[in-house]
């Protein structure tokens, strides 16, 4: 007499005892991923969109002080607000400013800054920039939690295999 689990092949693989035992295990992982998606999306949205930077931004002229093509294509520019000098380092330079390849040290550019915090500034129109950052928000909110949950899931699988090996070694 065999002690192997009995399978009812009339039900097919989708409803075999082994398959139904594994299904509930994936549901908590999906819930964890969705919770992390909501948290990451909320954090990114609160810093980029909900901050109201685009609505408050003022513009002023600035001068490019450095161009760093090997450092995420950063352009540094200095500008003045209320007699104080500030520097912006931005890796996204856009209209009305020239493209990254055309910018040189000493080039005049337009800076958009927050009047409540003049040291917070960007080198492109904030309204257009926030609409382009929505794609990044969606990508980051889906991918970062997926890596975290995937890594956690894999580590639990490795941990279970290790515990089984230790138990088997003790019994032998």
In sequence order, what are the residues at sequence separation of 6 or more whose Cβ sits closer than 8 angstroms to the Cβ of residue 152? 32
Q: What is the pLDDT along the chain (172 residues), one digit of tens a residue?
A: 555 555 555 545 545 555 545 545 667 777 787 888 888 777 766 665 545 777 788 999 999 999 998 888 899 999 999 999 999 998 888 888 998 999 999 999 999 998 888 998 999 888 776 656 667 777 777 777 878 877 877 787 788 788 888 888 887 6
Whether this model's pTM surpasses 0.85: no
pLDDT at res. 46: 65
Q: How far apart are CA 37 and CA 147, in angstroms?
A: 11
pLDDT at res. 87: 95
pLDDT at res. 51: 56
pLDDT at res. 42: 74
pLDDT at res. 2: 54
Alpha carbon separation from 39 to 47, 133, 144 (Å, rounded)? 13, 17, 11
Q: How far apart are CA 155 and CA 162, in angstroms?
A: 10
pLDDT at res. 116: 87
């Amino acid at each position: 007499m065999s002690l192997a689990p009995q399978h009812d092949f009339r039900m097919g693989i989708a409803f075999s005892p082994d398959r139904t035992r594994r299904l509930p295990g994936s549901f908590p992982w999906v819930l964890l991923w969705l919770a992390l998606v909501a948290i990451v999306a909320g954090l990114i949205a609160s810093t980029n969109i909900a901050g109201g930077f685009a609505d408050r931004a003022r513009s002023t002229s600035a001068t490019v002080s450095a161009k760093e093509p090997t450092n995420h294509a950063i352009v540094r520019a200095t500008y003045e607000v209320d007699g104080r000098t500030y520097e912006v380092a931005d890796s996204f330079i856009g209209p009305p400013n020239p493209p990254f390849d055309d910018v040189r040290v000493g080039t005049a550019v337009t800076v958009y800054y927050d009047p409540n915090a003049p040291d917070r500034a960007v080198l492109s129109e904030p309204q257009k920039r926030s609409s382009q950052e929505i794609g990044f928000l969606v990508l980051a909110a889906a991918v970062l939690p997926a890596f975290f949950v995937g890594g956690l899931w894999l580590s639990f699988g490795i941990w279970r295999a290790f515990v089984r090996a230790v138990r088997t070694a003790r019994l032998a």
